[in-house]
Every structure is written in C-alpha cells, then in structure tokens.
Amino acid sequence: MVKVERMDLNNKADKREFIQLVFQLYKDNPLWVPPIRTDAKAQLNPEKHPFYEHSEAAFFLARRNGEVVGRIASIENKPYNQYHNKKNAQFYFFECIEDFEVAEVLFEKAFEWSRGRGLTKIVGPKGLSAFDGYGILIEGYEHRPAMTMMNYNPPYYREFVERLGFSKEVDFVSCYLSPDKYVLPERIHRIAERAKKHSHLEVLRFKSKKELLSWAPKIGQTYNKSFVNNWEYYPLTDKELDFAVGDALSVADPRLIKIILHEGEVVGFLLAFPDVSAAIQRCKGRLFPFGIIDLLAEFKRTDWVAVNGAGILPEFQGRGGNALLYSELHKTINEFGFTHCDMTQVAESAVQMSHDLVNLGGVPYKRHRVYTHDL
C-alpha cells in the first residue's frame, strides 16, 4: 500500500529524502543531469528562496513499506494568478517509480491541497520561479539536458499524467543550432547594423565577472519587461530577480553575456552559458569541495553552448532589435568555437521567435509539455 504524507520543511530527514529520490531513480541513466544540491536545498528553504515571501507550496512524499517511491509539490503562485486573473495551482517536482498507483495517489494529494485553497485548475510542471524550467519531456529522450533547470524524465511520465486526465496547455521547444547550419543571411547582419545606427542601439560586452555582476539588477529589470506577452510571465519581485539573475550570472562566462543598450538603458539581452552538464554529472551535483574545480575546467573544454535567455523590449522588436539579437547569437557561436548550440525552451506561444529560429536554421529536437487539469 502506498502512503502519501505532506513533508515538513523543518524536517531535515524529509528534505534529504525528497532530494535524494531523483538520484536513486536516475542512477543508471547516463543522460540525466543531477540538480546542484545547494540549489535543491534552497528551493525547500522558505528563509532562502524569495518565492515564499508571496506564495505557498506543499510538498508530498509517497512511501511503500517505508521506502520513498515518489514525490510532488503543489504550488499557489499568487502574483501569477493576480496578474492573469486566474485561480491556478501548479505542480512541480513530480517523480515516481514506474507504478501508476504511486502517480495516482500523489496527484490526488496535490489536487486535494489545491481544491482546499479554492483553486480551479492545476498546471505543470511549473516551478517556484520563471527560471526553473517547464514541462514534462515528451520528445528528445536521447539528448542530455544542457542546463540543470531542464527537466529530464522517463517516457512513462507522459503516459501517467495523460491517463490521469491531463491535457496539453503549451509546449516548450528547444532548438539545436550548429555553425555549419546556422548560416545567418548577410541581410540580417545589415539590418542589425542599421538598427544600431538608426535606433541608437549599442551592444555591451563584458570582460570580467565583476563588471557583469554590476549590471545584474538592470538585466533583471529588462527581463521583467521583455516577456510581458509570454504565457508564463508574471512580474518578478526585486528579490526574485536578484536571486535568479545574480545566481545565474555568478557562474557565467562574462564573455558570453551580451546586453543591448538604448541611451544607456538596458533594452535587451543575450544570456549564453557553456554547457557544463558533464561536469555536474561527474560530481553528482556536489560543487564542494572538488566539484567546482572540474566545473571550471569544463568551461574551457565544452563545445556546447546553451542560450537560456534572449529578449528585447517590445518597442524595439520591430526596429531591428530581433535581427541584432540573432546577429549577436551568430557571433557568439562562431567567435568562441562552439560546435553545438541549444536554444532552450522557447514557448510555442512566442510565435515570432519560434518561427525565426527555424527559419535561421534551428532544428527542434527537444519538446517539453506543460499539462493542465480542471480541479
């Protein structure tokens, strides 16, 4: 018999089991990339993660004969619901053994908690922040995730949620780009150059981590304004921006981060990161004491780059801003000698960017699906 209990966030043993489950489930999977353990702990710590300042979540563990066999979180993101005038719950952290009964009782607990809060729909996977990654992987199981926030799961997860009555909400597609196929038409570079001249746009590059981090608050503010039309958007608090952007930039290669300025103000950005997932696999998510050394070495070894943020304010998109982004992306791939590029998780709802990527040589090769279910 499967028993599901709500996890006590003050119980260190419960939190350890919640995190450790995925390491057990995927221990024999050579493609799975573990979470950074310090990040996983922060997500379960209301004193450290800014999500808990405005919203609530409940975490559940499923046990059979005392052994943990599944987990899930049910989330109420209040700013998202207020912004979109919805009564949505979210589910995240769903993991379980290949046993439909386990999935069924886990989701029933998530439904029960959500209904008790007056919520009318549950959507997911969708995490504590806009930087947690979205969806259940339904295509591209043969590829290793390029970022730790990219969900990876076995094919039976899709079967389980659809059997439970979930239906598609939106797909997030990742595109593969390679230098030999990403041959940017010369006219795009010309449009980019005209945009810099006529729209008074400037591309700012960085040489040092200190210089990059000094711009982090402005990059975060621009992020908050760039994606207002996206399905997943809600206005992030200053602390959420500091937490997410600061954390990401602290481990970035500053040369791969570019921002677009207009009269000294940030109006766009291109956030690219060397793919260090192989090093994270080797250290099993533990950066200290020795994992960080291997990770820093992987920065120089890897021939993969992951682009996990590209945006420009709506008022500049029709003034050559998009062309400038694509031109700078092309330069990033080629100038640093990357052989492979992963454009991670572009929502189908972002129609223009989705079309642009394919037209410019991108090949869709991973698909994550966000599901919805009425409560």
Give me the mean pLDDT over the 145-150 stretch.
77
**Model confidence at 354: pLDDT above 70:** yes
Give percent of the chain above pLDDT 70: 96
- Count Cβ atoms below 10 Å from residue 85 Cβ, excluding itself: 6
Give me the mean pLDDT over the 204-231 stretch.
79
According to the model, what pLDDT value does residue 315 have?
A: 82
Contacts of residues 335-339 at CB distance under 8 Å and 24 or more positions apart, as own/partner, are 336/255, 336/256, 336/305, 337/303, 338/179, 338/303, 338/304, 338/305, 339/178, 339/179, 339/303, 339/304
According to the model, what pLDDT value does residue 187 have?
A: 85
According to the model, what pLDDT value does residue 181 have?
A: 65
According to the model, what pLDDT value does residue 207 have?
A: 84
In whole angstroms, give the CA distance from residue 284 to residue 259.
Answer: 33
According to the model, what pLDDT value does residue 20 have?
A: 97
Residue found under tokens 């997410």: 244
Contact 339, 304 (CB under 8 A): yes
Instruction: Give the predicted TM-score (pTM) of the model.
Output: 0.92
Give me the mean pLDDT over the 156-179 stretch.
94
| pLDDT one-digit tens code per residue, 55-110 | 999 999 999 999 999 999 999 999 999 999 999 999 999 999 999 999 999 999 99
**Model confidence at 43: pLDDT above 80:** yes
Contact 60, 110 (CB under 8 A): yes
| pLDDT one-digit tens code per residue, 228-284 | 677 788 888 888 887 877 667 666 788 888 888 988 888 888 888 889 999 999 999
Q: Which domains does the chain have, with CATH numbers?
A: 2-172 (3.40.630.30), 177-367 (3.40.630.30)
How does the average pLDDT of the chain come out, rounded? 89
According to the model, what pLDDT value does residue 213 have?
A: 79
**Model confidence at 329: pLDDT above 80:** yes
According to the model, what pLDDT value does residue 182 have?
A: 65
Letter string b/e over residues 96-115, b meaning 16 or more CB atoms within 10 A of that residue's CB: bbeeeebbebbbebbbebbe
Lowest mean pLDDT among 76-85, 172-181, 349-358: 349-358
Lowest mean pLDDT among 16-30, 60-74, 312-326, 347-361: 347-361
According to the model, what pLDDT value does residue 267 have?
A: 86
> Between 359 and 334, whose confidence is greater?
334
Burial status of residue 66 (CB atoms within 10 A of its CB: 0-12, 13-18, 19 or more): exposed
According to the model, what pLDDT value does residue 149 have?
A: 72
According to the model, what pLDDT value does residue 375 have?
A: 96
What is the Cβ-side half-sphere exposure of residue 206, based on CA atoms within 13 angstroms? Answer: 23
According to the model, what pLDDT value does residue 355 have?
A: 75
Letter string b/e over residues 165-181, b meaning 16 or more CB atoms within 10 A of that residue's CB: ebeebbbbbbbbbeeee
